[in-house]
């Protein structure tokens, strides 16, 4: 989707109109240029939202998030003839509003810490979901779960995706002490490589996650000896931001082999969890498969693998995170100063940066941006967007074409719903931004902007210093 023949930001909106899969779009489904030539999301003028809520500001579009959820759910219903369950990888963005929206769409939850589990449980309680509504839909992940996290999961009847032998031994003690059973899935490392950043590649042999394949026979035998641990499934996840479909196809056969071995040993396995990993469009040149294409590939691979091995179709679990929420959200900043270095570079500074989006400095991630109040203005300069933090590497975007920017303009970075707020920090003691939910012209605050008082809330001053 290269659009070098067009010279205004409006191109990013019009070029996305042919894509119905949210993960393939640069901006939310509701994005448009209004009569004032400003960017509009969810029926709300972004410049007005900044006036009302300040910046930097996360703006989450409810329609796009719900559409992603419904596309995942309906695609599995179409392409997988067995039972299926989509669970949201909460690490992408865990907050009560996101949990409530996705739960109402029939989505379950993959949590990776006690904090994510508590947030999920609290949001479901406050949204009026009963224990029957969420039964069997919360899964606890993690490669070094604490005793407290395991106990919280057991107490709340969560399924636990077990990552290592120590965790099995701790669960054996916890279930014996509580005289309460727990359902687990075993996470394995399938040895499947995919082309993505090494920090988010999890399926290769050299990974901190999961049991190596040569360990599994001993693992299954250990579980068989436990009275209160029920192994109900096998899990693997090969990485994130993946554009290839073949690795997901290959994964089906690896999982089915070990699913069969578990059955042959007498373990009551009924679930097969293929993880997530579908990529999204961050820039014009990105070309990810659609949600439907990914689901079809996974479903077809698992179905054939089971048929080839004479297995009844298991309950198929998937864990989308980034592809569920990333393109539902944008981040709005206010432009501050400029620095022009003749024949070298022009820096345009904004009132945020690595504390609200650490992905560029951490992963060298690329993003697209527009000036929300100049959507139809011609591109006239190439600039580098600099954050306000005291780090030379705090650069959000290098060498981007924009209209002439001025102090007070509203710069919007797209596809910031995944791993932005969830990885946000208070570096330089900068308060984390607010987040709002937009839908049909209504804007609702879902995360308050932190105050200076919040920054010192946990600080303590010893009496000898006072």
What whole-number distance in Å separates Cα of residue 329 and Cα of residue 301?
Answer: 32
Q: What SS3 class is residue 21?
A: coil
Flag whether pLDDT at 16 surpasses 90.
no
Residue 243: CB atoms within 10 Å: 16
Q: How many helices (H) and strands (E) does the chain have?
A: 14, 21
Q: Which domains does the chain have, with CATH numbers?
A: 10-61+326-455 (2.40.37.10), 80-320 (3.20.20.10)
Q: State residue 206's pLDDT score.
A: 59
What whole-number distance in Å separates Cα of residue 459 and Cα of residue 4?
Answer: 51
Q: Which of 71-85, 126-140, 191-205, 261-275 has the lowest mean pLDDT?
A: 191-205
Supply the DSSP string of 305-354, one letter for each residue. HHHHTTPPPPEEEE---HHHHGGGEEEEEEEEEEEEETTTEEEEEES--T
Extended strands (E) in 342-391:
345-350, 369-371, 381-386
Cis peptide before 56 (omega within 30 of 0): yes
pLDDT band at 420 (very low <50, low <70, confident <90, very high): very high
The DSSP symbol for 124 reads: H
Q: Are 457 and 429 in contact (CB under 8 A)?
A: no
pLDDT band at 217 (very low <50, low <70, confident <90, very high): confident
Residue 249: CB atoms within 10 Å: 17
What whole-number distance in Å separates Cα of residue 7 and Cα of residue 73?
Answer: 38
Q: State residue 204's pLDDT score.
A: 47
Q: State residue 6's pLDDT score.
A: 55
Q: Are 269 and 223 in contact (CB under 8 A)?
A: no
- Let me know if 128 is exposed, middle or buried by CB neighbors in 10 A (0-12, 13-18, 19+): exposed
Q: Which helix (H) or strand (E) holds 234?
A: strand 229-235
Flag whether pLDDT at 196 surpasses 70.
no
Phi, psi of 97 (to 5 degrees): -65, -40
Which residues are CB-contacts of 35 (< 8 A; sequence separation ≥ 6)? none
Q: Which helix (H) or strand (E) holds 160?
A: strand 159-162
Q: Which residue has the tokens 């090494």?
A: 198
Q: At what angle do helices 62-79 and 96-104 cross, to 10 degrees?
A: 40
**Beta-strand pair 57-61/329-341:** antiparallel
Active site residue 306: no
For 85, 186, 241, 453, the CA distances from 160, given in Å and listed in that order, are 15, 9, 24, 37
Q: What would the mean pLDDT of 181-210 be, rounded to a whole number?
A: 66
Q: State residue 238's pLDDT score.
A: 87
Length of the chain measured in residues: 466
Q: What SS3 class is residue 223?
A: helix
Flag whether pLDDT at 48 surpasses 90.
yes
**β partners of residue 439:** 442
Mean of all residue pLDDT scores within the chain: 93
pLDDT > 90: percent of the chain: 85
What whole-number distance in Å separates Cα of residue 414 and Cα of residue 197?
Answer: 20
Please identify which of the residues 158, 194, 306, 390 carries the catalytic annotation: 390
**β partners of residue 120:** none
Q: Which helix (H) or strand (E) holds 116?
A: helix 114-126
Q: What is the pLDDT of residues 301-351, one digit of tens each?
A: 999 999 999 999 999 999 999 999 999 999 999 999 999 999 999 999 999
What whole-number distance in Å separates Cα of residue 7 and Cα of residue 10?
Answer: 9
pLDDT band at 212 (very low <50, low <70, confident <90, very high): confident
Q: Which residue has the tokens 């067995």?
A: 82
């Amino acid at each position: 989707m290269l659009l070098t023949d067009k010279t205004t930001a409006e191109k990013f909106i019009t070029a996305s109109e042919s894509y119905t899969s949210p993960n393939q779009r640069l901006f939310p489904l509701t994005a448009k240029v209004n009569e004032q030539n400003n960017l509009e999301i969810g029926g709300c003028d972004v410049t007005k939202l900044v006036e009302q809520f300040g910046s930097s500001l996360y703006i989450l579009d409810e329609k796009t998030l719900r559409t992603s959820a419904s596309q995942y759910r309906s695609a599995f219903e179409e392409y997988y003839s067995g039972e299926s369950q989509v669970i949201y990888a909460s690490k992408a963005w865990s907050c009560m509003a996101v949990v409530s929206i996705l739960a109402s769409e029939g989505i379950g939850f993959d949590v990776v810490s006690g904090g994510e589990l508590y947030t999920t449980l609290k949001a479901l309680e406050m949204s009026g979901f009963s224990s029957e509504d969420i039964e069997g839909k919360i899964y606890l992940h993690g490669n070094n779960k604490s005793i407290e996290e395991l106990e919280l999961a057991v107490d709340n009847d969560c399924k636990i995706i077990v990552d290592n032998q120590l965790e099995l031994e701790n669960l054996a003690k916890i279930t014996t002490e509580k005289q309460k059973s727990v359902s687990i899935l075993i996470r394995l490392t399938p040895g499947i490589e995919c082309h993505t950043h090494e920090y988010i590649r999890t399926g290769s042999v050299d990974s901190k996650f999961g049991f190596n394949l040569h360990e599994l026979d001993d693992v299954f035998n250990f579980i068989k000896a436990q009275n209160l641990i029920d192994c109900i499934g096998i899990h693997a996840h090969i990485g994130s931001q993946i554009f290839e479909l073949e690795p997901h196809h290959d994964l089906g056969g690896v999982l089915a082999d070990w699913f069969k071995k578990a059955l042959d040993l007498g373990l009551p396995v009924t679930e097969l969890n293929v993880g997530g990993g579908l990529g999204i469009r961050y820039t014009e040149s990105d070309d990810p498969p659609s949600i439907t294409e990914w689901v079809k590939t996974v479903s077809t691979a698992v179905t054939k693998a089971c048929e080839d091995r004479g297995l009844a179709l298991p309950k198929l679990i998937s864990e989308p995170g980034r592809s569920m929420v990333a393109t539902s959200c944008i981040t709005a900043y206010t432009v501050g100063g400029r620095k022009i270095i003749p024949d070298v570079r022009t820096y345009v500074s904004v009132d945020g940066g690595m504390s609200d989006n650490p992905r560029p400095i951490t992963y060298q991630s690329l993003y697209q941006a527009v000036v929300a109040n100049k959507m139809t203005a011609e591109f006239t300069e190439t600039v580098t967007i600099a954050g306000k933090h005291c780090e030379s590497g705090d650069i959000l975007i290098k060498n981007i074409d924009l209209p002439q920017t001025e102090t007070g303009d509203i710069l919007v970075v797209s596809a910031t719903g995944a791993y932005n707020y969830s990885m946000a920090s208070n570096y330089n003691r900068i308060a984390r931004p607010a987040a709002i939910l937009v839908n049909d012209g209504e804007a609702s605050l879902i995360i308050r902007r932190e105050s200076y008082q919040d920054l010192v809330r946990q600080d303590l001053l010893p009496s000898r210093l006072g």
